[in-house]
Structure 1
Amino acid sequence: MKKNNHPVEGPDGLVYTARLPLSSATLNWLAGLIRGHLKKIRSRWRALPPGRIAALVLAVLRCDQRPGDLAGGNGIHRTTVTRWVREVVGLLAARAWTAPSKRSPARVAGRCCWTAR
């Protein structure tokens, strides 16, 4: 089977860097969430470490980067980046669903509502 890992933009492979306006704490938190998920599903390896996966996923979600452009610059396939985005969105959704915080919308709405006396 032939691997087809050529750059998306053409043979010369135009790659550019982007600066994400994110804190390192956000990136480290998401990388830890990914690390925990990989440990839970007993994944032996990924093409990139969890910190780089977190940066790629945040670039797709925050800056609306095309997965194909990011994949070509990092030597992985476009479908791999798309799969990682879906996995991380699922992890974040599961965390939001199971761990309500003090600032959850239901609590904020409950504090702001008038009660009839």
Structure 2
Amino acid sequence: MAHLRAAGLGALADLGFRGLDDDARDPVIVTGFAASRAHKLTPGQKTANHVLAVGRAPVEHGFAHLKNWRTLTKLRTDPARATLLLRALLVLTNLEVNR
């Protein structure tokens, strides 16, 4: 959290990350809203969940492609190079999916 906040960055996450962020006024991790039997979601919360899902979908699809290609299991390199490689692969994957 501290590294993201210091860099001025944020992250979109699923409901598994709820409660992880310690500053409610300036959240670093944006999560959706959860419904229960006693607490139904308002239309605004449903819209916020939809917007969050739309933002996360391309990233989830990109990692799914990387897992299917088993790129990450064969990777034996410096983490800095791995980050550059993953970024390049995600760009190529998005180009291929959009084609």
TM-based fold match above 0.5: no
Could you say which structure has the greater relative contact order, defined with CA pairs below 8 angstroms and 6 or more residues apart? 1
Q: Which has the larger radius of gyration?
A: 1
TM-score scaled by structure 1? 0.27
TM-score scaled by structure 2? 0.31
Q: Which has the higher strand share?
A: 2
